[in-house]
Amino acid sequence: MFFRREKPKVLTLADRVANLKQFGITSHSESGGKVRVSRGNVAAILEDRGAAPPHISACGVVVGSEIAEPWSGGYQMFLATPSGKKMPARAEHLQSLHDFGEDLREGLGMQSYYNEGLGSTSAHHMYDRVEERDSTQEKKPWEVTTRLT
């Protein structure tokens, strides 16, 4: 009665995407509860998770009709598309990607983390030229070749 609290409003994906317009981010609907949002040469795909903030499944620089995600080679950042095209990432790419990611998280009501605020992060890494380090299939003992030197 007197101390009754207001129920918090549960934001839908459409509400969150509408909030992105104040950051200059445009949206394009896709099938299956996914929305592609973009600003300039950077885009991301958002997946609906109900009341929780949406999942950002791909965020990168637009190359043709694909989104090239950042890929760290240890010594340099690259951009890789799902079709297999790779190109070196320039400073302009990384700066626009970083600014877009910050604005995207803020507009969606998500938390910004310290390591993401420092600079560009990537989900794909390949360091030290180790072959098949990140492969999903582990080799069987009889498939491993040992070198005698």
Contact between 82 and 75 (Cβ < 8 Å)? no
Provide the token pair at 15: 């509400």
Residue 125 is assigned to a structural domain of this protein:
no
Strands (E), 18-65: 26-29, 34-39, 42-47, 55-63
Residue 123 has pLDDT above 70, yes or no: no
Residue 49 is assigned to a structural domain of this protein:
yes
Residue 118 is assigned to a structural domain of this protein:
no
**Residue 2 or residue 84, greater confidence:** 84
Residue 119 is assigned to a structural domain of this protein:
no
pLDDT band at 111 (very low <50, low <70, confident <90, very high): confident
Residue 73 is assigned to a structural domain of this protein:
yes
Residue 129 is assigned to a structural domain of this protein:
no
- Can you give the residue range of the structural domain that contains 87? 13-111
Q: Which residues lie below 8 Å from residue 91, measured CB to CB, with a gap of 6+?
A: none
Residue 149 is assigned to a structural domain of this protein:
no
Per-residue pLDDT at 148: 63
Residue 123 is assigned to a structural domain of this protein:
no
pLDDT band at 88 (very low <50, low <70, confident <90, very high): very high
pLDDT band at 62 (very low <50, low <70, confident <90, very high): very high
**pTM for this prediction:** 0.73
How far is Cα 46 from Cα 34, in angstroms, rounded to an integer? 5
Determine the 3-state secondary structure of 104 from DSSP.
Answer: helix
**What's the structural domain count of the chain?**
1
Nearest to 11 by CA among 64, 50, 62, 40: 50
